[in-house]
């Protein structure tokens, strides 16, 4: 029962990050901090050992360092970098490669979708939706947090942490 509640809270927080990014092109710090705070609870419930915790932490720190470099280069936003790193914490060694792959593929899909939304032929159709009007007004600003969340939701079930908790 506790495991299901934790999964639901983590998943809902991830979806909130994607929604915020679509609507505002920002991911509030409280979302990344909440996901960071939920991890030790899941790790404790799942029974992760110190060695496994170390690997999870090392992966997250590596992802954060890469995110900081990408942010400094103007490639991603700061919220995207933090969200990617905190979700990397959940993946661990087993699911980090599928996570990176899923984020990349989802990012391509999101990018193509936003390119399609900006097509001149859709201008009249977009006027019927305030959300589409807002998205079109921003131009090519793509909410990459959506791709990060989709990648996280797809990859997390293949993680060791998910497996540990699923058997409880």
pLDDT of residue 8: 86
User: What digits encode the pLDDT tens for the residues 55-85?
Assistant: 999 999 999 999 999 999 999 999 999 999 9
Structure tokens at 17: 């990050």
Spell out the residues 6+ positions from residue 114 whose beta carbon is closer than 8 angstroms to its own.
Answer: 135, 140, 142
Domain count across the chain: 1
Which of the two residues, 59 and 167, has the higher pLDDT score? 59
**Cβ-count burial of 98 within 10 angstroms (0-12 exposed, 13-18 middle, 19+ buried)?**
middle
Three-state DSSP state, 24: helix
pLDDT of residue 1: 63
Are 127 and 59 a contacting pair, CB within 8 Å?
Answer: no
User: What digits encode the pLDDT tens for the residues 11-63?
Assistant: 999 999 999 998 888 999 999 999 999 999 999 988 999 999 999 999 999 99
User: What digits encode the pLDDT tens for the residues 76-124?
Assistant: 999 999 999 999 999 999 999 999 999 999 999 998 988 877 777 666 6
Distance, in Å, from the CA atom of 60 to the CA atom of 91, rounded to the nearest integer, reads: 9
Are 138 and 25 a contacting pair, CB within 8 Å?
Answer: yes
Look at residue 126 and tell me whether its pLDDT is greater than 70. Answer: no
User: Which range of residues forms the domain containing residue 102?
Assistant: 2-166
Look at residue 135 and tell me whether its pLDDT is greater than 80. Answer: no
Which of the two residues, 127 and 95, has the higher pLDDT score? 95
164: pLDDT confidence band, cut at 50, 70 and 90? confident
């Amino acid at each position: 029962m506790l495991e299901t509640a934790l999964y639901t809270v983590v998943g809902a927080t991830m979806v909130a990050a994607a929604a915020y990014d679509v609507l505002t092109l920002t991911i509030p710090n409280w979302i990344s901090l909440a996901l960071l705070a939920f991890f030790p609870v899941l790790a404790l419930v799942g029974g992760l050992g110190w060695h496994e915790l170390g690997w999870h932490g090392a992966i997250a720190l590596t992802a954060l360092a890469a995110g900081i470099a990408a942010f400094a280069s103007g490639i991603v936003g700061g919220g995207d970098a933090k969200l990617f790193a905190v979700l990397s914490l959940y993946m661990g060694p087993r699911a980090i490669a599928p996570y990176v792959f899923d984020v990349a593929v989802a990012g391509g899909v999101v990018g193509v979708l936003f390119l399609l939304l900006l097509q001149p032929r859709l201008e009249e159709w977009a006027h019927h939706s305030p959300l589409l009007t807002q998205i079109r007004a921003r131009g090519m600003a793509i909410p990459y947090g959506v791709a990060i969340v989709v990648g996280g939701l797809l990859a997390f079930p293949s993680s060791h942490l998910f497996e540990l908790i699923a058997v409880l």
